[in-house]
Amino acid sequence: MNKTARMATKTALLAAVTAACMVFPGFAAGGKKITGNSSDSAQNISGDLNIIHYLTETAKLKALDDMVAGFKTEYPNVKVDVESTSMDNYQDVIKLKISTGDAPDIIFGSCKTYSDLITSGNIEDISNQPFVSRIAPGVLSNVQLNGKVYGIPLDEMANVVFYNKDIFARYGLKIPHTYSEFIAVCRKLQQNGVTACAAGYQDNISVGANFYTIFFGAPYLTSENYAAELIGGKSSSGYPALAKSLTQWREIMQYQNTDRKTIDTDRAEQKFANGETGMIIIGTWGLGAIMNYNPKGNFGGFMYPSEEKETDNAIPVATDDTWMLVKNSQNRKAALAFCEYMTRKDVNAKWCATTSQLSAISGVTVDTFPVPMKDIAQIAAQKKAANWLSVGTFSGQYDTTWYRVLQDYAITDSLSVADFCKQLDKEFAAAKK
């Protein structure tokens, strides 16, 4: 990520943290209804709108239900069918639906992660749609491919550590600012019979949440083109930052719950929310579920300190919940109407309030963020940020392989960093054939 993109990201985040303590003003400039065709009214648009996603967090599922309900109230002649599937086989499901003529109209997912769907001509270029102007300029690059816009991001996430303030106070612990300090906190909790960090590696979500938090901060900034280079044939053993992150992750696993290999993200979130662990390494997208499990929880958030010098640390940020319009959709008018609807300020503000996420739409303000989200917003606005999705990431078979090898590493204690690199290189080479 170049300096201009990094500054744009920090500007967007600074605006977000300022907005976090403000009341949403309703329909302000730019928040009025925009449609793809001015002659279309809500009453004239009809059809069966099919949406597919892999969301599992309770807060996000509620936010989606609320958004769909609001859309159906305004567009009574549109029937909305929402299908959920597992993230682990999501790409295969999408490709099968497209190949069999059963493609949905709107697909959940990052444009960079699912770029193969774009390059194969299955996702519509929405660059010229009026509602695209509502996307915050600082994150626009996250939904662009070759200069064209293919997705609508609703919110921004940061990969962080949430902690239980009561547990920290009980044992006289302070927020760590270096990796050594972080491990010292983990060790102190363990010595007092408290599990330091919650994790559940039975789904890709938790695997990504843990490793992405560790790798996509300062280590990533030294290896921004790692994805394209690995796909191009470079060995993963050639990245010291990757090796360092894998080594840290393995050490941290010693301080996570003993059933981490057999439970999923949702159960890990419950463990932390219920006070069974002192911390959880996760994206801000998980905070909504955590607060739902324990609305009165005394939680806070801090940046994962991957480095031994505090000022070298960086917080991983990226757009999160993103939606793409399938090209040649049989219900294109309804799909465009839905895209326009979810980018409205009031609709997006409700989404972000429910999910406890920063908005990716310009001018949206939320006054109901929980304390941990305010902590993270402040950090993201003031500290070094790494927008890891602005450059690129794995897509298609490479993304599937990346997650599978990461999961193998998470659940196989005997798998070394060297073994990880050999396995990843081997499977990436096979994916190229």
Given a cut of 60, whether residue 303 has pLDDT beyond it is yes
What per-residue confidence (pLDDT) applies to 1?
43
pLDDT at residue 432, rounded to an integer:
81
Q: List the structure tokens of 215.
A: 């790798």
For residues 262 and 112, the model is more confident at: 262
Please state the rounded mean pLDDT for residues 49-69: 94
Q: Taking residues 211-237, what's their average pLDDT? A: 96
The boundaries of every CATH 3.40.190.10 domain in the chain are 3-154+320-362, 157-318+391-430
pTM (two decimals) = 0.79
Domain at 3-154+320-362, CATH homologous superfamily: Periplasmic binding protein-like II (3.40.190.10)
**pLDDT recorded at residue 34:** 52
Give the confidence band of 300 by pLDDT, cuts at 50, 70, 90.
Answer: very high
Q: What's the mean pLDDT in 345-361?
A: 93
Task: Indicate whether 186 pLDDT > 90.
Answer: yes
Instruction: Write down how long the chain is.
Output: 433
pLDDT digit string, tens, across residues 104-120: 999 999 998 898 899 99
Q: Cβ neighbours of residue 422 under 8 Å, at least 6 residues apart?
A: 237
Q: Report percent pLDDT > 90 for the chain.
A: 76
Give residue 396's pLDDT band: very low, low, confident or very high (50, 70, 90).
confident
- For residues 48 and 167, give the distance between their C-alpha atoms in angstroms, rounded to a whole number: 50
Distance from C-alpha of 302 to C-alpha of 378, rounded to nearest angstrom = 10
Q: Name the pLDDT band for 40 (thresholds 50, 70, 90).
A: low
Residue 293 binned pLDDT confidence (cut-offs 50, 70, 90): very high
- Which SS3 state, helix, strand or coil, does residue 328 take? coil
Q: Would you place residue 36 in the very low, low, confident or very high pLDDT band (cuts 50, 70, 90)?
A: very low
> 157-318+391-430 is classed in which CATH architecture?
3-Layer(aba) Sandwich (3.40)
- Residue whose tokens read 């609320």: 66
Over the range 49-69, which residues count as b (16 or more CB within 10 Å of their CB) and which as e? bbbbbbbbbebbbbbbeebbe
pLDDT at 38 over 50: no
Cα gap 189→163, rounded to integer Å: 12
- pLDDT above 80 for 14: no
pLDDT at position 41? 75
- Among 13-27, 29-43, 173-187, the minimum mean pLDDT is found in 13-27
Classify the phi-psi angles of 134: left when phi > 0, otherwise alpha if psi is within -120 to 50, otherwise beta.
alpha
